Structure 1
Amino acid sequence: MSINIEQAIIHEISLDSQGQMACRLRPQPLLNSQAVEAMLEELHQTYSSKAGKGFGYFGVPQEDGEANDAFANALQSYRDGDTGFVDFTVIASQLLQQELAKYDFSQGGFLLMSCYSSMASEYLFVALLSAKSSMTVLDDMELSQNNHLDLNNIQLAARIDLTELQADKASKKYISFIRGRAGRKVADFFLDFMGCVEGVNSKAQNKTLIHAVEDFVAGSELTKDERQQCRDKVFEYCAERADLGADIDVKDLADELADQGMDSFYDFACGGNYELDEEFPADKASLRTLKKFSGTGGGVTLSFDGGHLGERVIYDPISDTILIKGVPANLKDQLDRRLKGE
């Protein structure tokens, strides 16, 4: 296993017979059975691989006045040993119940909370899971309908890096969370119950890094191939950091580029021309533009490796056209068939 589970528990928050939100609380932690280990391992992998996560911290949104610090205080009490794990999660469940009661759309769900460690960090994972219906065939070949937790489609989840919180309380990225399909506002209530404020906009930081890289290679005396090698090196470094769940370190990245003969990137990127933090989480979706060009519009979708620009792919901004030399075989076959048919 890639994680070491310390504690885990599940409480249910659902509508009662009067249509009010109510908690059904488990009185003790889950046993560290094989089922629990498999579930948390799957959730850890699924969550870690989610692209476009947001990052925040316990704080006060300036426009809202006082923050909801009850969750942060309860967490600190648990970390200090003054509150047990179960009591801490009961407080969290009641806070979430109160938050959910403000909204008409919520049906509740199963609140999973777990403390576990992975690599050199300790985490608190918080997720509101939904149940999904499925059919199974029994031994007598009868059908039976069952409900199971939908682990592959988690939409409301956050993970607190307890190690980073302990080491740097001024950090604004020790809480990561899944953004809703339509943006952060879909998950506002889930973050509000924890008193989480968005701190680092990782997507904006990654786009700023790309901008800095493009300006850096444009102002250099590198050849076309060397410029693409620089972009590839940046992407490889950042993708590796993303896979490890580690932050992009601009100084470390600059050292990597210096080993390839491309000096002074750190001074260029962090010298004041760009609003770039020295460390920030990687967003692989944004970084792909270092490797590929892609776009969709008007019924046309086009994607190609950046190294082909100016060679196999010729772009003419004046005539607003793109010429492709060497049409992919499968596309060529489709086009030839259509022309023969006409």
Structure 2
Amino acid sequence: MSINVEQAIIHSITQNSEGQLSCRLRPQPLLNSDAVEAMLEELHQTYTTKAGKGFGHFGTHGEDGETNPKFEQSLTAYRNGELGFVEFSGLAGKLLQEELSKYDFSQGGFLLLSCYTHMTSDYLYVSLLNAKSSMTVLDDMELTQNTHLDLKDVQLAARIDLTEWQADSDSLKYISFIRGRAGRKVADFFLDFMGCVEGVNTKAQNKELMNAVEDFVSSSELTKDERQQCREKVFDYCTERCDVGADIEIKDLADELADSGMESFYDFARGGNYELEDEFPGDKPTLRQLKKFSGTGGGVTLSFDGAHLGERVMYDPISDTIMIKGVPANLKDQLDRRLKGGQ
């Protein structure tokens, strides 16, 4: 086990035939059984490696400049020993029910809260899980339908780094959250019930890092191969940090490059007009642009490794054309077939 589960509980939020929501509270924590530990280990791993997460903090926002402070106040009381875990989780369940009642699209779900330790940090994981039906074959070969929690497709989840929050309350990224497929607006209620606002624009920070790296290799006396090696070194470092849920640290990254003979990246990044934090979360989809070029538009999708630019792939910005030498075999086969057909 990579995590140590301290407390976990599940509450149910359901909708009746009239569309009214109610919260059924569990009166005691879940037992620290093998099933509970296995579930939370799976959720932790899935969440840690989830790409495109947002980051925020307890704070103020909106036209009135205020968020709902009740969740933060309850969490503070729990951490100070003034509330038990069950009482805190029950207050959280009621807050989520109240927030959900403002919208028409929700049918409820199962609210999971868990405090656990990973490495040297304490975390609070908060998630609204859905249930799925499945079919099971019994010993007598009869079919029966049962319901299980959907752990593979979690779309509403947040994790609070309790250690960072209590050590540095001015941090803007101690809360992370999953950005739902349907867009930020649908997930707003989940952040609102916790009083969370977005603090660090992860994509913007990662794009700024890529700009700094490109400017760095362009201004250096590196060969073409060395420049590509630098980009790959940055990509490898950043993705490794993403995989373990750690922040990208500019000083640490600069030391990694220095070990490969590429000095002074830290001074370059800090001395330029780059709006880079010293530490920020990585964003894999953005970082992939260090190694690949890709784009879609007008019915055309194109993607290729950055190392091919100037060799197999020639780009002419004046004529707005790209020439590819060595067409991939499967694409060439499709093109040849179409040409033979008279196209």
TM range (shorter): over 0.9
Aligned to 1:87: 87
Distance 1:17 1:183 in 2: 28
**Pairing 1:285-304 to 2, within 5 Å after superposition:** 285-304=285-304
**Aligned 8 A contact 1:14 1:23 in 2:** yes
Cα drift, residue 241 of structure 1: 0.8
**Secondary structure class of the residue paired with 1:115:** strand
Report the equivalent of 2:115: 115
Superposition deviation, residue 19 in structure 1 = 2.7
Q: Deviations over 1:256-315 (max 9, x none)?
A: 112222222212212250111111001111000000001112222211110110001111
Shift of 1:17: 4.8
CA contact (8 A) 1:136 1:144 kept: yes
1:339 CA drift (Å): 3.5
Deviations 1:196-239 (A, max 9, x none): 01000111100010011111111122111111111111111111
**Match of residue 128 from structure 1:** 128
The residue that corresponds to 1:215 in the other structure is 215
> Is 1:314 the equivalent of 2:327?
no
Cα deviations by residue, 1:34-71 (Å, 9 ceiling, x for unpaired): 21111111111111111100000011115332221110
Amino acid aligned to 1:101: S
Quote how far apart the aligned CAs of 1:323 are: 1.2
Q: Per-residue CA shift, 1:111-143, capped at 9, x if unaligned?
A: 000011112211100000011121222233332
- Structure 1, 103-112 or 9-18: larger mean CA deviation: 9-18
Matched letter for residue 79 of structure 2: R
Aligned equivalent of 1:78? 78
Moved more, 291-300 or 103-112: 291-300
Corresponding residue for residue 258 of structure 1: 258
CA contact 1:206–1:282 (8 Å) conserved in 2: yes
Equivalent residue pairs, number: 342
- Distance in 1 (CA, whole Å) between partners of 2:249 and 2:66 is 33
Which residue does the alignment assign to 1:49? 49
* C-alpha deviation, 1:167, in angstroms: 1.5
Equivalence map 1:100-179=2 (5 Å): 100-179=100-179
**Other-structure match for 2:9:** 9
Between 1:235-244 and 1:182-191, the stretch displaced more is 182-191
The answer on whether the counterparts of 1:270 and 1:277 sit within 8 Å (CA) in structure 2 is no
TM alignment of 1:17-36, pairs within 5 A: 17-36=17-36
Please state if 1:226 is matched with 2:226: yes
Instruction: Specify the code of the residue in structure 1 equivalent to 2:131.
Output: A
Q: Secondary structure at the match of 2:172?
A: coil
Residue in structure 1 matched with residue 186 of structure 2 by the alignment: 186
Kindly indicate whether the alpha-carbon contact (under 8 Å) linking 1:257 and 1:265 is maintained by their aligned counterparts in 2. yes
8 Å CA contact retained: 1:93, 1:111: yes
**Structure 1 gaps, min length 5:** none
Question: What is the alpha-carbon distance in structure 1 between the residues aligned to residue 64 and residue 133 of structure 2?
Answer: 39
Whether the aligned pair in 2 keeps the contact of 1:71 and 1:195 (CA below 8 Å) is: yes
Hey, what's the Cα distance between the residues in 2 that align with 1:150 and 1:242? 24
Q: Look up the SS of the partner of 1:240 in the other structure.
A: helix
Query: Match of 2:271?
Result: 271
CA distance, structure 1, for counterparts of residue 94 and residue 153 of structure 2: 24
Structure 1 residue runs of 4 or more that deviate by more than 4 Å after TM superposition? none
SS for the counterpart of 2:188 is: helix
In the aligned structure 1, how far is the partner of 2:316 from the partner of 2:102?
Answer: 54
SS at match of 2:213: helix
How far 1:31 sits from its partner (Å)? 0.8
Task: Give me the whole-angstrom Cα distance separating, in 2, the residues matched to 1:199 and 1:260.
Answer: 34
- For 2:88 and 2:335, how far apart are their aligned partners in 1? 63
Q: CA RMSD in A?
A: 1.4
What TM-score results when the alignment is normalised by the length of structure 2? Answer: 0.96
CA distance in 1, matches of 2:88, 2:272: 44
User: Contact between 2:59 and 2:66, CA under 8 Å: does it hold in 1?
Assistant: no
What amino acid maps onto 2:52 in structure 1? G
Q: For the residues of structure 1 that align with 2:65 and 2:335, how far apart are their CA atoms? A: 61
The 3-state SS of whatever aligns with 2:323 is: strand
* 135-144 vs 73-82, which moves further: 135-144
Distance, in Å, in 2 between the alignment partners of 1:158 and 1:203 is: 18
Distance (Å, rounded) in 2 between the aligned partners of 1:272 and 1:186: 38
Write the letter of the residue equivalent to 1:164.
E
Maintained 8 Å contact 1:129/1:156: yes
Q: CA deviation at 1:156?
A: 0.5
In structure 1, distance between residues paired with 2:231 and 2:299: 30
Which amino acid letter does the alignment assign opposite residue 103 of structure 1?
Y
Quote how far apart the aligned CAs of 1:8 are: 0.5
- In structure 1, the partner of 2:334 is 334
